[in-house]
Structure 1
Amino acid sequence: MTNPKPTCRVVGAGVRFTGKQALTYTPGISAESVGATGIHLQLVTLPPGVRAKAHRHESHETAIHVLSGESGMWYGDRLEQHLTARAGDFVYIPAGMPHLPYNPSATEACVAVIARTDPNEQESVILMPELDGLHA
């Protein structure tokens, strides 16, 4: 049996889950939901004061659009660089770039849309525990 020809689809938000990075995701477009072969689109929520585990996405680029709140992110081989993204900002993360996002707010969640070139969101996540202690 051959695979059916891909077509346009509308899908609802998938079931929220906690990823390897310790953040909460709501999947939208993925290999699992629509048979995507080159992209994954989802929401990520960083509750107040939360930080992810240091990680990278091997061979996959990431684009983020912050919908609400603010996020800081350490990045680089030793997480030596830093950026801050606020509601309305876009962030690009090159393939293989170590990063550690966090929410600096004590009261407001940060919600963002994430698009990644990995249609199976969690498969390209490589945790980097050796970097977790660099920024408390």
Structure 2
Amino acid sequence: MKKILLVAVALSLQSYLYDHTNNIEELGSNYYYMGDGRESQILLSRNEKRSGGQTVVPEEVTHYAFNSEYIIARNIQNRINKEVKFWIIDKRQGTQPVALDSTEFYIELQKLNLNLKLQTRK
């Protein structure tokens, strides 16, 4: 009986721990943040179900912010070397953004007169 109970508890915890749909934030224009442990990312969906989509900012997204026109994000691309990259997504254009280093990122924010501040992910 104990063994069955332990298996049931383990399966319940596993489904809870891996249910990434519990941590989704709408970012507007069909973009959304999906938090799933170290697999957190920003995606562009073509449907309302948010069951998948095109990865725009790959894991691991550590910070992001958004307004009606832009999304900015910071991620760690290489877990071994902890390579930090920054992203600016123009939601109006819908094009795939390019990873930037911190200097390029802050220069682009100034050029765009974009007054968004990166916030720690939820």
Scaled by the length of structure 1, the TM-score of the pair is 0.28
Q: Which has the higher helix share?
A: 2
Q: Which has the higher strand share?
A: 1
Structure whose CA Rg is larger: 2
